Amino acid sequence: MARVFSLSIHPTRFSRDLRALQVPQLFLKNLPENFFRLSYEARRSYIPVTIMATTLQPQCSKSASHFFSTKPSNEVLEIWRNADAVCFDVDSTVCLHEGIDELADFCGAGKAVSEWTNKAMSGSVPFEEALAARLSLFSPSLLQLQDFLDKRPPRLSPGIAELINKLKASNTDVYLISGGFRQMIKPVALQLGIPGENIFANQLLFGSSGEFLGFDTTEFTSRSGGKAVAVQHIRKVHGYKSLIMIGDGATDLEARMPGGADLFICYGGVLLREAVAAKADWVVLSFEDLSNALK
């Protein structure tokens, strides 16, 4: 007796296994455009078949092809290849993790802080409110921070070092703009050969005994819209004709504004946020795509 199958796909989390991070891009590119809508039902009986895409971690339930394109226009490619400066988000972009989440987990408050991070990155709450709320949940001491940096060094996203080397070789200036903390980003910048003055991030404050006091509210990135202001500042100071912002969150998307970034490239290799990807000029799931496009 012939039977008709019901086929569905349920994306879960992107694996942090470096070997698995290349899978989403290849997987999605080879699927037909209407793959996720495939559903056939027999009137009398059917056999449900489910494919679990265990290497995926999107923040959405739609097919990727429904809300963003991984194929840039010729105009976007031209700007990318001739950019004077490229600004990178750090957490879940240059690095595989969200720094504050990792530090919170190290201090025993990982789950609660992670929930606030998702709110902040989706743009549902003011960034400064989310930052203060997250820090108040675990109030890290200077000793805890130093211990964390010793025991959990930064984990770079696959292909980011090669991409940054290619950009620098073509005389493109590289910046790190983050809502994270300078103390945690400096080791990343050092590893990638990015000068300290090209870091725009927050600063944790400690007392004379190493007790947590808060964060420096004068930093550009300490508040909502801060990354956009940082990008505008960089462009104005250096007189760049073209500048690009690359990141995964709503705060990165904000940088594409008058006097700010000419392009926003959404990097979805760690986290894929539908609302952000839908408004990006280009969505990439691998830094290799950006490197190859420079050729």
Active-site amino acid positions: 89, 91
Question: Comparing C-alpha atoms, which of 15, 24, 13, 20 is closest to residue 289?
Answer: 24
CA torsion, ordered 90, 94, 98, 100, to nearest 10 deg: -40
Q: Strands 199-202 and 173-181, how do they pair?
A: parallel
Task: Find the distance separating the first CA and the last CA of the chain, reported in whole Å.
Answer: 55
- Whose CA is closest to 164, among 189, 183, 197? 189
Name the E strands within the chain. Answer: 4-11, 46-53, 85-88, 173-181, 199-202, 204-206, 212-215, 243-247, 263-267, 282-284
Number of Cβ within 10 Å of residue 241's Cβ equals 10
